[in-house]
Amino acid sequence: MAVVTLKPTGNFDLTVEAEVITPDNFAGKSAQEIGQLLVWQGPKQYPLANYFEVKGDGADTTEETTITIDGDVSRVKRIGEGMTAGKVLVKGSTGMHAGAEMVGGEIIIEGDTDSWAGMEMKGGLLHIKGNTKDHLGSAYRGSWHGMTGGRIVVDGDAVNQVGGGMSGGEIVIGGSVKHFCGIRINGGLIVVKGDAFRTVGAEMTGGTIVVGGTIERFTPGFIQEDTESDIKFDDIECTGEYKKFTGDYAIPQKGKGTMYVSSVNNECL
């Protein structure tokens, strides 16, 4: 296992797009070669070494390459985009599109991430220990398919459009969400342990959503089917009693989506 450490040193006055920061690109390269990889700042490309102090060489294979970013990179976008294997550890916060379209491997972010983390993700693990913003694991603008595989774990809160258009994989949110959690999902699993503000599962045609906290405004196109206790999805356990709804009948589909809502926290439903 080889560790490449990147320490932010450059000027991030304009945001930097660094889709090259993946184990796939770093594998088989020396620290100096990694420093020569190009990133975008505005309409120009500059070497990675202009922005980061690079220590350590990449391993021979992607699987054995670990990248540690030792600092805050909240103005660096697209870290780990499309990575297929290996590991990225960020000891701070990242900008937008972290782990977007990732296929495999593991990304651990100890701080927060901006919007579009894990967009259209296909596999692997994205673990955000802080909070994230909008479009977590969702589809790109105009696309109908969000995340199709892998797992996203957020220890903190997410904001809007979590898992939009998702058709596979799992998203587990430790905190709460705001609007349109699970909009248009047609497969996969979203578990929100905290509260949701509104429009949970809007336009869903498949998949499962679990909300452990309170939903302030319930989506009108759902019909209660049953009550279940201690539900379990492989290694994800949701204890307590849940009201089981199907929907969303607001759209002309068969209402194949399932939503579990905590009975204790949503007595009025």
Partner 1 sequence: MVYKNIICPVCGAACDDVQVDLDTINRTIDVQNACKMGNAKFQEVVSSHRIVRPTIRENGKVKDVSWDEALEMAADILVKSRRPLFFLGSETSCEAQEVGLHIAEYLGGVADSNATICHGPTVMGIQESGMVGATAGQTKNRADMIVYWGVNALESMPRHMSRYGVFPRGYWTKRGRFDRTLITVDPRRTPTATASDLHLQINPNTDYELLSALFTILNGKEPHTSIEDITGIPISVMKQMVEMMKESNYVGIFVGLGVSSSYGKHRNIEMALNFVKEMNNYTKCNIGALRGHCNVAGFNQLASYLYGYPFGVDFMKGYPRYNPGETTTVDLLREKDVDAAFVMSADLVNHIPADSAKYLTEIPMICLDIAPCPSTTAADVVLPGVIDAMECDGTFYRLDNVPVHFEPFTDSPFPETKSNEETLKMLFEKVKAKKEA
Residues 212 and 89: their CA atoms lie apart, in Å, by 29
Cβ-based nearer residue to partner 1, 51 or 62: 51
Instruction: Work out whether 157 is an interface residue with partner 1 (CB under 8 A).
Output: no
Least distance (Å) between residue 192 CB and partner 1: 18
* Segment interacting with partner 1, rule: CB under 8 A, options 34-42, 81-89, 101-109, 146-154: 34-42
**∠175-261-256 over CA atoms, to 5°?**
115
Residues in contact with partner 1, counted by CB under 8 A, come to a total of 37
96 near 75, Cβ under 8 Å?
Answer: no
Residue from 198, 206, 225, 231 touching partner 1 (CB under 8 A): that is: 198
Could you tell me if 15 and 22 are in contact, meaning their C-beta atoms sit under 8 angstroms apart? no
Using CB under 8 A as the binding rule, whether residue 112 contacts partner 1 is answered as no
**What is the C-alpha separation between 236 and 263, in angstroms, rounded?**
19
Q: Does 195 bind partner 1 (CB under 8 A)?
A: no
Smallest gap from Cβ 141 to partner 1, in A, equals 6
List 2, 7, 28, 40, residue binding partner 1 (CB under 8 A): 40
Tokens of 123: 């596999």
**Residue indicated by tokens 């019909």:** 223
- The answer to whether the CB of 67 falls within 8 A of the CB of 59 is no
Residues in contact with partner 1, shown as a per-residue x/- string from 218 to 247 under the rule CB under 8 A: xxxxxx------------------------
Rule CB under 8 A: is residue 217 a binding residue for partner 1? yes
Q: Shortest approach of partner 1 to residue 75 CB, angstroms?
A: 8
Closest CA to 85 of 59, 111, 110, 119: 59
**Under a CB-based contact definition with an 8 Å cutoff, are residues 209 and 193 in contact?**
no
**Comparison of 81 and 134: residue with beta carbon closer to partner 1:** 134
Tell me: does residue 96 bind partner 1 (CB under 8 A).
Answer: yes
Instruction: Give the per-residue contact string, 162-191, with partner 1 (x = CB under 8 A; - = no).
Output: -----------------xx--x--------
Q: Which is nearer to partner 1, 87 or 184 (CB)?
A: 184
Cα distances from 85 to residues 107, 117, 167, 170, in angstroms, run 10, 17, 22, 18
Is the CB of 91 or the CB of 198 nearer to partner 1? Answer: 198
Q: % helix / strand / coil in the chain, to the nearest 5? A: 5, 40, 55
